[in-house]
Amino acid sequence: MRDGLRELLPGLVLLTVVAVTAQALGSRIPFLTPLVLAVAIGALITNVVGLPERAEQGLKKHSLLLETAIVLLGASLSLDAIIAAGPLIVALVLFVVVFGLLLMTALARLANLNGRMGSLLAAGSSICGISAIAAVAPACNARQTQIAHAAATILLFDAVTLVAFPAAGQFLDLEPQFYGIWIGLSMFSTGPVAAAGFAHSATAGEWATMTKLARNALIGVVVLGYSILYTSRGASEPGQPMGRVWTDFPKFLFGFVLIAVLVNSGVLPDAVVTSLTITSDVLFLLAFAGLGFEIRLAEMYETGLVPVGIVGIHLLIVSGVTYIIATLLF
């Protein structure tokens, strides 16, 4: 056990240093969240300096940290937030998520992109950016490089939309509620959505955040859907026993659902729920730092611009459709 810990320690220390640095910089640099910075710093180190061999074992643990963070994320899943957002917003969110997932799947097939990569991009663009990619990855048994490439593509669009949507809001002179709902339905990650919303006005920021949180709440359902889809596909392959369905099933989902049920039924005190949410954020930061270390720019170059192209088309179509629907409803 002591040898095991000794092997893990250098990598875990490296993850902690990156996470602390990202947290410190994130509070000083506007529009860049610590999560984005953690990925960026990890990617910078691995591509510029390279990794010491003895850190590899510890760095591999970022997947476990990520799954633990997702289990604890169940503590911040609020059914009240969904109800407060209103039935119309919920209906819109359901439509946009289903439409977005189907559209990305179709675009990925048209572009002849790997199915798992298509699923990662679909989840990332339709639910909540790289958190959704990370949550869906174990369900579809994606490779680390695919996760890293999908995350990098989504991060690129997070940066672009953070500038483009507020500019569009100003140019089109949109009402705060309309603008907030529109970006909450169209943009990818929660941090940039809130930032782009509050960049317009406080009211727009509140509507954007509320709409985005309602979208995020569907993450469990989407992960469950992908789990069933991929495990059934695995079982149908020749030579794959039915037991594979259970072996491949991401068991951390049980923990996620259990904690969400415990919190929403009021079993856990508020102070504990707050602590669990903070712990989940810290674990996400460590896991994202580890994810950054998986980004290999040389391999991304080999993947080409196809993911960037189809995510761009997806964003244009979804934001166009949500704009038209929001114009009719609000």
Partner 1 sequence: MKGQGVERITMEPCLFEVYASLDRGWRACLLAATIVVGTLVVTAL
Q: Please report, as ranges, the residues that interact with partner 1 according to CB under 8 A.
A: 1, 4, 63-64, 67-68, 70-72, 138, 247, 249-255, 259, 268-269, 271-272, 275-276, 279
Closest CA to 83 of 205, 174, 213: 213
- In terms of CB distance, is 20 or 282 closer to partner 1? 282
Shortest approach of partner 1 to residue 275 CB, angstroms?
Answer: 5
- In terms of CB distance, is 127 or 287 closer to partner 1? 287
Shortest approach of partner 1 to residue 127 CB, angstroms?
Answer: 20
Shortest approach of partner 1 to residue 1 CB, angstroms?
Answer: 4
Shortest approach of partner 1 to residue 65 CB, angstroms?
Answer: 9
Shortest approach of partner 1 to residue 166 CB, angstroms?
Answer: 37
Length of the chain: 330
Shortest approach of partner 1 to residue 187 CB, angstroms?
Answer: 29
- In terms of CB distance, is 170 or 247 closer to partner 1? 247
Shortest approach of partner 1 to residue 203 CB, angstroms?
Answer: 35
Considering Cα of 237, then 256, then 43, then 306, what sign does the dihedral take? positive
Give the separation between CA 151 and CA 173, rounded to whole angstroms. Answer: 32
- In terms of CB distance, is 62 or 149 closer to partner 1? 62
- In terms of CB distance, is 31 or 249 closer to partner 1? 249
Closest CA to 51 of 14, 90, 104, 2: 14
Give the separation between CA 49 and CA 61, rounded to whole angstroms. Answer: 21
Residue 256 tokens read as: 């996620």
Shortest approach of partner 1 to residue 234 CB, angstroms?
Answer: 15
- In terms of CB distance, is 99 or 249 closer to partner 1? 249
- In terms of CB distance, is 182 or 252 closer to partner 1? 252
In this structure, what DSSP letter does residue 249 have? S
Print burial letters for 27-54: b (CB count within 10 Å at least 16), e (below 16). Answer: eeeeebbbbbbbbbbbbbbbbeeeeeee
- In terms of CB distance, is 47 or 63 closer to partner 1? 63
Give the separation between CA 95 and CA 122, rounded to whole angstroms. Answer: 14
Q: Are 141 and 155 in contact (CB under 8 A)?
A: no
Q: Are 160 and 317 in contact (CB under 8 A)?
A: no
CB within 8 A of 222, min separation 6: which ones? Answer: 97, 101, 123, 126, 127, 132, 136
Print burial letters for 181-208: b (CB count within 10 Å at least 16), e (below 16). Answer: bbbbbbbbbbbbbbbbbbbbbeebbbbb
